Amino acid sequence: MSDKEKYISENAKQGAIQCWLEEHRTLRSVIDSHLITMRYLVIFNITSLGTIGGFILTDMERNMWLALIIPIMSPFIGFLVYFYSKQISQLGHYIREIIAPRLQELVEDEKVIGWESHTREKEKERNKFLQWFSISGMSILTFTLTSVFVLIFTAKRTFIEGTGWQISLWSIGLVFTIILIWAYINERKYWFSNTKEHKS
């Protein structure tokens, strides 16, 4: 290979490295943005629960029906957390399986962008029972348990004393809660499938 060809080949290699690095930076920025959004959603949910709870405690008899908002609001926010969590998992999987190996090959160094693989290895060392309780998983589970508690707590009064719209709110909350339970289980299964795939 002539000096000119070597020069062109080296320039092409450096260009490829820069392209992969730019894509990595972009995806990491998206992941960070999703994490911030998830944090705000959790804070908003907790604040809203506290506000609704405060109104209920001021007049239990008149404001008890405000609790029916919770099984609709919390699962909706929980589903948004699930959506962002899955996006983060998919982006992380792409970085780990596509970008990292390509950059490692180009620079001839297996330690380049090794953080994703390192953390995944650490996750695999955890007890399988504990793996169900990731940050996103715990957030979704918390929203689910809150909704289930409210549905149980209000069920008797809703169907005995409630009006048609109150029964409708309770029923909608039940549907939303079931969807969120499905989302939580699905989120954990997706995480486990990625872990198993990476392990193999």
Query: In the prediction, which pLDDT does 40 show?
Result: 92
Query: In the prediction, which pLDDT does 200 show?
Result: 46
Retrieve residue 71's tokens: 């099984």
Query: In the prediction, which pLDDT does 127 show?
Result: 52
pTM of the shown model: 0.76
Q: What is the DSSP string of 34-91?
A: HHHHHHHHHHHHHHHHHHHHHHHHH-HHHHGGGGGGHHHHHHHHHHHHHHHHHHHHHH
Tokens 């809660």, residue? 177
Query: In the prediction, which pLDDT does 34 show?
Result: 93
Query: In the prediction, which pLDDT does 180 show?
Result: 83
Query: In the prediction, which pLDDT does 143 show?
Result: 81
Mean pLDDT by 10 residues, the chain (200 residues): 56 84 92 92 90 88 87 89 85 86 80 64 55 59 85 90 90 91 71 51
